Amino acid sequence: MYFLPEKLDDYVVAHSQDEPKLLQQLTRETYQKILQPIMLSGPYQGRVLSMISKLIRPKSVLELGTFTGYATLCLAEGLHPEGEIHTIDVNEELEDFQRSYFDKSGYGTQIHQHLGSAIDILPTLDKTFDLVFIDADKPNYVNYFHLIIDKLNPGGIILSDNVLWHGKVIEPVDPKDVSTNAVLEFNTLLKNDKRIETVLLPIRDGLTISRKL
């Protein structure tokens, strides 16, 4: 996931905004109690998400893939005072864990959790969004895009995580590797869809910013 030399990567992190204490606590508890803690966005990418959200000042945010709520809280830092986040995850075992940190953050009343498949939940959300963060199961990334694009306000932003997929996007691909092939298809879709303009950033495992025209 790290494409810069380690010393240069350390320098980048050291000269970026520090991770808030609540998120440090969330990280520690995730590593202590939750399986696959590597799924956390992490302090550097978290500061990137926070900065983007602060630049946009969204009134409505959609997140696909909550995990323990780290990225959710980073995105909440830029919320308009009257803004809200709708975050979707399939893991019911994490719902109370997420909520405990949402409420500690001061953004608790602005964050709405949805439990279940995003494929099923998205059509039921009668809302439009200024900012969307996709960080869920890779095989459904293309499906998520098609369900989201008409709910995205003009000028709205889609952030898509893991678009370099551990570097596998430039390696020979096994036809049976569903996730890698899905990421490749998704990246091509973002590049070619005329409704958006896109730039892929080599941040951690790859983060794409797409803006609706």
Dist. CA 29–CA 34, nearest whole Å: 8
For range 7-35, the mean pLDDT: 95
Whether the predicted pLDDT of 114 surpasses 90: yes
The proportion of the chain whose per-residue pLDDT surpasses 70, expressed as a percent, equals: 99
pLDDT, residue 4, reads 83
For range 119-141, the mean pLDDT: 98
Whether the predicted pLDDT of 131 surpasses 80: yes
Whether the predicted pLDDT of 3 surpasses 80: no
The pair phi, psi for residue 133, each rounded to 5°, is: -120, 120
Whether the predicted pLDDT of 78 surpasses 90: yes
Closest CA to 138 of 205, 69, 210, 209: 205
Whether the predicted pLDDT of 1 surpasses 70: no
For range 197-208, the mean pLDDT: 95
Instruction: Give 2's pLDDT tier (boundaries 50, 70, 90).
Output: low
The verdict on pTM exceeding 0.85 is yes
Instruction: Give 38's pLDDT tier (boundaries 50, 70, 90).
Output: confident
Q: Which residue has the tokens 């830092």?
A: 77
